[in-house]
Structure 1
């Protein structure tokens, strides 16, 4: 495995631990009476950004979910472009298997959730919640497994997670946008055109890109499309190479630490605080939490494994090097860790009505489904994986 991939896995695994701690602290703060007041004050703390009559005055949870997460999606845009130009997504043979598996990992959780919640127009809005994979947690579990998982499967997971993010971006843009404001949409398109023009002109300083990206975010925020989409689009307009080096990689490296160790943990802390008081079996076994849990734990593993199996058996792709079907199945289970992106889609689907409608069980199902997928996937991978020295166990056949 290259030093670059090792660095990514080290960062993502550390971020996964911090994300878990953030979620645990959110639950503690929300459910201890002497801390819940502080927690809710923090969530609704108003922050004003702007000058004169041009300003935004919104509570903290807005700035985290709509502004800071746009930076996260900007980083995803940078990663996708880099991978498509010179990385794992450059060659069809390398990208087909994880891409096809990612499609299965989106379809089956959505089908399971929709089947359980069919006929309820409010509940069905959450069909995309269990379709996501949290790359930080998934890679964190792989890091714990060490050499029991071949590096080819780690690359498979990274590529699958990237394609999974791309699917999530498309879903958010198509299904979780409100009524479109054509004026702001046209202004956003104009800014994108300007970003492309300065890219083609070879502008090699970051400031114009940053300023135009901020303006793009404001226009997209008011256009009816979710504001985070601005981050992805802006990320794709950043030049990979300029006369001064790689602007894209410089931005990627500059943002990675802040996103993984500040923005995502803050997002988890703001969104994972579910009030557990008054919960009962009727709430926990409702169609929405059951659909989310089964979508993450069963839908993900079935979809990813089945589509991988079909791709290999139909000779469209090959198993990752030095891996076997049992190891791939374990990886498919681990990909049921939805967490961050699932919480994000949950906010888009149910918004502030989550507690009223489902008493927070939708978010609990995300946490529980992700936890079970991680634990079960870890032990299955440990049981069927390579020995600690990296050599395959003789009892396993492809």
Structure 2
């Protein structure tokens, strides 16, 4: 068989940066991104409604709705609607993220360390870059430094929604890179929350939490599907995590990690994980995240002071600079360093301009960024509002810049897409993903 165009003679052993991956992985990611596109549209609508409402004469009604408390007082779960959205609904989001992370690194393409190193290092760089810039801008601002982690997250739903709006035809490798980057980003974000934004930890409920979590893991490994057995254990795990003082959304990640994803010899091992992901991803993307966005994005920027003063404070400017510049430099720089100090090289059909565009798009922080902002500064505080303004403005600038950069290459993306969709033998698998195809 002839060497492929992106694997010249004598360099077969060299790994590719942003290679296509396997057809199974590409097909699965395509399904995920279609769900996230719809979720991103709902997220955008929810954020716009909240932002507009919070800046009208009826803003008190919006803030009053957010403050309505429901839940059993005796169990310390009499939370406001905004808290239920942040602590409860986002646990669903992180449950799906936990499933996705485990699948990627245990049963997906990223179980190969050579494939995993790029999105992991890009996500780490995409966390360090924004943090450094935010700290530099706020070095003399005292308590503002608590928000150093606000601009470190990438929101995949928002990013995919932008791709849908601009109608760009990203190659499979770039779509896969964006999703895996965002998934690793979520893991780093929840790690930051657990390590840096947990004040008082109560060990007794934290230890008790392990009981329902372990039972949940045992049942899922036995392929138990009954909701009446699994859901109470999941709720108990979440409630005890909340009572322990550790942010309750971490329970969602642990529950996702507890579900088996590796296929057994009889072929049944990962069926439950797939079932959970198919059932809960639409709920996460279509309900949990948009509702959280509705309660979190309603920052009032029209008030007694001038608008310029509200948008030029150090927290807002730090978040904007970190998302727009820090994310781009962090992701792009990490990718360049991987190819500079390893034998890996960029896939033939891609250029560094494409990596530049995706790096800018990674600056769209929203869901996890808003959550970290509330934890860092306190929900409803002045600095929390400043951080939210920075997140919204920085994400908007990143979206516009990424749209311009990626649209420039859209004609090339269309040609690559035609190759990736070509199926001459009509077996349902594009020829480029089959070993015998010379274009692979």
**1:270: how far off?**
0.5
Cα separation, 2, equivalents of 1:316 and 1:81: 27
- Pairing of 1:67-82 with structure 2 (within 5 A): 67-82=88-103
Among residues 242, 249, 262, which one is paired with 1:228 in the alignment?
A: 249
**1:119: how far off?**
4.4
- Does structure 1 conserve the Cα–Cα contact (< 8 Å) formed by 2:168 and 2:407? no
3-state DSSP class of the match of 1:130?
A: helix
**1:245: how far off?**
6.7
Among residues 102, 124, 130, which one is paired with 1:103 in the alignment?
A: 124
- Equivalent in the alignment of 1:18: 42
- Pairing of 1:174-323 with structure 2 (within 5 A): 174-200=195-221, 203=224, 205-240=226-261, 246-276=271-301, 277-280=303-306, 281-315=308-342, 317-320=344-347, 322-323=349-350
Cα separation, 2, equivalents of 1:41 and 1:224: 26
- Equivalent in the alignment of 2:191: 170
- Deviation per CA, 1:146-193, whole angstroms, max 9, x where unpaired? 564221111111111111111111111100112111111211233333
Cα separation, 1, equivalents of 2:241 and 2:169: 45
- Equivalent in the alignment of 2:378: 351
Cα separation, 1, equivalents of 2:201 and 2:72: 24
- Equivalent in the alignment of 1:31: 55
**1:384: how far off?**
3.5
- Equivalent in the alignment of 2:71: 48
- Deviation per CA, 1:16-44, whole angstroms, max 9, x where unpaired? 122111111101111211x3233123212
Greater mean deviation of Cα atoms: 383-392 or 154-163: 383-392
Among residues 125, 130, 135, which one is paired with 2:151 in the alignment?
A: 130
3-state DSSP class of the match of 1:338?
A: coil
Greater mean deviation of Cα atoms: 53-62 or 221-230: 53-62
Cα separation, 2, equivalents of 1:131 and 1:39: 28
Change (3 A) 1:84 1:206: farther
**1:275: how far off?**
1.2
**5+ long unaligned stretches in structure 2:** 1-22, 418-440
How many residue pairs get aligned? The number is 387
- Does structure 1 conserve the Cα–Cα contact (< 8 Å) formed by 2:122 and 2:332? yes
Change (3 A) 1:164 1:316: farther
- Does structure 2 conserve the Cα–Cα contact (< 8 Å) formed by 1:156 and 1:320? no
**1:55: how far off?**
6.5
- Does structure 2 conserve the Cα–Cα contact (< 8 Å) formed by 1:354 and 1:362? no
Cα separation, 2, equivalents of 1:344 and 1:245: 31
Change (3 A) 1:55 1:180: closer
TM-score normalized by the length of structure 2? 0.82
**1:319: how far off?**
2.3
**1:287: how far off?**
1.2
- Does structure 1 conserve the Cα–Cα contact (< 8 Å) formed by 2:209 and 2:241? yes
- Equivalent in the alignment of 1:395: none
Greater mean deviation of Cα atoms: 231-240 or 331-340: 231-240
Greater mean deviation of Cα atoms: 100-109 or 15-24: 15-24
User: Does residue 339 in structure 1 map to residue 389 in structure 2?
Assistant: no
Greater gyration radius: 2
Change (3 A) 1:391 1:183: closer
Cα separation, 1, equivalents of 2:168 and 2:59: 42
Cα separation, 1, equivalents of 2:56 and 2:309: 23
3-state DSSP class of the match of 2:79?
A: strand
- Equivalent in the alignment of 2:177: 156
Greater mean deviation of Cα atoms: 54-63 or 339-348: 54-63
Query: How large is the RMSD of aligned CA atoms in angstroms?
Result: 2.3
- Does structure 2 conserve the Cα–Cα contact (< 8 Å) formed by 1:148 and 1:390? no
Greater mean deviation of Cα atoms: 288-297 or 270-279: 270-279
3-state DSSP class of the match of 2:54?
A: helix
Cα separation, 2, equivalents of 1:152 and 1:245: 24
Change (3 A) 1:95 1:388: closer
Cα separation, 2, equivalents of 1:188 and 1:9: 33
**5+ long unaligned stretches in structure 1:** 393-398
Cα separation, 1, equivalents of 2:284 and 2:269: 25
